[in-house]
Amino acid sequence: MVSLLRKDLSVRMAPKVYKNLIGGEWVETRSKRTHENTNPADTRDVIGVFPHSDASDVEAAVAAAKKAFESWRLVPAPKRADVLFRAARIMEERKEQYAKDMTREMGKVLKETRGDVQEAIDTLYFMAGEGRRLYGFTTPSELPNKAAMAVRMPVGVCGMITPWNFPMAIPSWKLLPAIVCGNTCVIKPAEDTPLSTLNLVQSLIEAGLPKGVINIVFGSGKDVGTPIVQHPDVRAISFTGSSEVGRLIGTMAAEQYKPCSLEMGGKNAIIVLDDANIDLTVDGVLWGAFGTTGQRCTATSRVIATKKVYEQLADKVAARAKKLKIGSGLDESVDVGPQINRSQVETTETYVGIGKKEGAKVLIGGNRLAAGGYKHGFFYEPTVFVGVKNNMRIAQEEIFGPVVSMIQADSLEQAIDYSNSVVYGLSTAIYTKDINKAYRAMRDLYAGITYVNAPTIGAEAHLPFGGVKATGNGHREGGWEVYEFYSETKVCYVDYSGRLQRAQMDTYDV
């Protein structure tokens, strides 16, 4: 299970110092404060020094975005989209370097960061195509010599707050549809992973994105995120993060009548029935629970299995989890990287302790790794709980770490009830060979996503992504639905009759 990290970091180059991007220029923060971006596998490895900005930097960024909006909104959408096509080609050439940058700052293994960069590339191509498909519609008027149509118009300056677990894919979901629609943006990347967002935007700049269309302000949620949400010239907010923070952001946005897209937490379950392919299921559970070290809103946090397969499945999952190699994500042989920071490890430790007190049994794992090659990183063993009851906290609350709870159910109906019992509703899955039961699950599982014979993670760029209940507020990212958020519908009437026509009154005048 152990992969030793690099021991000798005595020869180090001075870390690069980065700046905010405001109005197309790289500028120092007005606060003069900075913070280090370090490798969670080895905190001695400093990726760079980034600004710790404040409201004055946000003010400058919003002003630049507002100015750029006046010209950017008038650029034809296919021309706006051409920038994305060119950026996609740049990203393809730099995929490996961007993946390594991401592994250093976020921790997840290279095969996953390559996927994160590829998702941004896929999103670039898909959203670029939408530049020629920002469809409105025409419809017959009820009056003669009158035309009626609906068109899309941009919202204005959009504020984005993004998380650290998908530091390039998620910013791409937000930035790209926004700019294709003619909006301009101010984005605050997560403090733990600023470089990956910068790399994405740098590719767009080199592809010809005009100054001020995208502005980056680095810093904390309190000092940068809140001012973005509250700024009167920011006309829409898109946030991905915890449900607790999302509630606060949604409330602040509502006070100014701003559209607000919230993509938040999850407590995702895989249902396993008697007829499931057990080996395929084990593959899915391992990837769903321990991919990205469990740090996904779509992570498989619960496995709800029927009695006949419960023990066999738990034993096989534990045996396979025990063999997973833990270490630096830059090591191609490693399966599970570190957690993002000390706070996340402490949260995982806390919930493992809660599970034990509630009476659940740790079948494998349950320990922080802090000795030897792990002492400078944030590592936690893949952990499998058995004997978990559905009302336990570890079965109801989001952990965001490499912990999976095995729950036993008497029937498909009970398993669906258990899956639906949490406050979240993001991703669900069922393993079965019975197509009738699969369709019942697709109908009855209350979530934004349901997989059949696949784990709870693996979004595709051309489909909508999001959830229900405490996971989201009705909007979706990705796919075609995202354009409903980043554009307003405007209805236009053209009366060429040459006389006054009064709808409803003249239409049915008797």
Instruction: Let me know whether 194 and 323 are in one domain.
Output: no
Using DSSP, state whether 277 is helix, strand or coil: coil
- Asked if residue 9 belongs to a domain, the reply is no
Residue 146: count of CB within 10 angstroms of its CB = 15
- Please tell me the distance from the alpha carbon of residue 412 to that of residue 396, in angstroms, as a whole number: 19
Could you please report the per-residue DSSP string of 73-84? TTS-HHHHHHHH
Catalytic residue among 263, 381, 398, 477, which?
263
CATH number at residue 174: 3.40.605.10
> pLDDT-derived band of residue 506, with 50, 70 and 90 as boundaries?
confident
Residues near 460 by Cβ (< 8 Å), separated by ≥ 6? 122, 478
pLDDT(510) > 60: no
> pLDDT-derived band of residue 377, with 50, 70 and 90 as boundaries?
very high
pLDDT(494) > 50: yes
Annotated active-site residue 397? The verdict is no
> pLDDT-derived band of residue 458, with 50, 70 and 90 as boundaries?
confident
| pLDDT tens-place string over residues 283-306 | 999 999 999 999 999 999 999 999
| pLDDT tens-place string over residues 249-286 | 999 999 999 999 999 999 999 999 999 999 999 999 99
Instruction: Let me know whether 404 and 258 are in one domain.
Output: no
- Please, where are the H alpha helices in 342-493? 342-358, 393-396, 412-420, 435-444, 482-486
- pTM confidence score: 0.95
Instruction: Let me know whether 85 and 229 are in one domain.
Output: yes
Instruction: Let me know whether 182 and 311 are in one domain.
Output: no
Annotated active-site residue 297? The verdict is yes
Q: What is the pLDDT of residue 225?
A: 98
- Please tell me the distance from the alpha carbon of residue 15 to that of residue 45, in angstroms, as a whole number: 9
- Asked if residue 136 belongs to a domain, the reply is yes
- Asked if residue 461 belongs to a domain, the reply is no
β-partners of residue 469 are: 424
Proportion of the chain above pLDDT 90, given as a percent: 95
Cα 406–chain centre separation = 26
Contact 163, 172 (CB under 8 A): no
Instruction: Let me know whether 202 and 185 are in one domain.
Output: yes
Instruction: Let me know whether 156 and 305 are in one domain.
Output: no
* Mean of all residue pLDDT scores within the chain: 96
> pLDDT-derived band of residue 509, with 50, 70 and 90 as boundaries?
low
- Asked if residue 5 belongs to a domain, the reply is no
Q: What is the pLDDT of residue 5?
A: 45
**Any idea which of 99-108, 142-151, 199-208, 501-510 has the lowest mean pLDDT?**
501-510
- Asked if residue 505 belongs to a domain, the reply is no
Proportion of the chain above pLDDT 70, given as a percent: 97
Contact 260, 253 (CB under 8 A): yes
Instruction: Let me know whether 260 and 273 are in one domain.
Output: no
Instruction: Let me know whether 439 and 483 are in one domain.
Output: no
| pLDDT tens-place string over residues 382-423 | 999 999 999 999 999 999 999 999 999 999 999 999 999 999
- Please tell me the distance from the alpha carbon of residue 318 to that of residue 313, in angstroms, as a whole number: 9
Kindly provide the b/e burial profile for residues 396-424, where b requires at least 16 CB atoms within 10 angstroms of the residue's own CB.
Answer: bbbbbbbbbbbbbbeebebbbebbeebeb
Instruction: Let me know whether 440 and 479 are in one domain.
Output: no
Domains contained in the chain, number: 2
CATH number at residue 427: 3.40.309.10
- Asked if residue 340 belongs to a domain, the reply is yes
Domain membership of residue 328 as a residue range: 268-452
Instruction: Let me know whether 249 and 279 are in one domain.
Output: no
Instruction: Let me know whether 226 and 316 are in one domain.
Output: no
pLDDT(495) > 70: yes
- Asked if residue 10 belongs to a domain, the reply is no
Q: What is the pLDDT of residue 8?
A: 45
- Please tell me the distance from the alpha carbon of residue 334 to that of residue 108, in angstroms, as a whole number: 10
Catalytic residue among 297, 381, 398, 477, which?
297
Q: What is the pLDDT of residue 12?
A: 61
Instruction: Let me know whether 140 and 170 are in one domain.
Output: yes
Q: What is the pLDDT of residue 10?
A: 42
- Asked if residue 256 belongs to a domain, the reply is yes
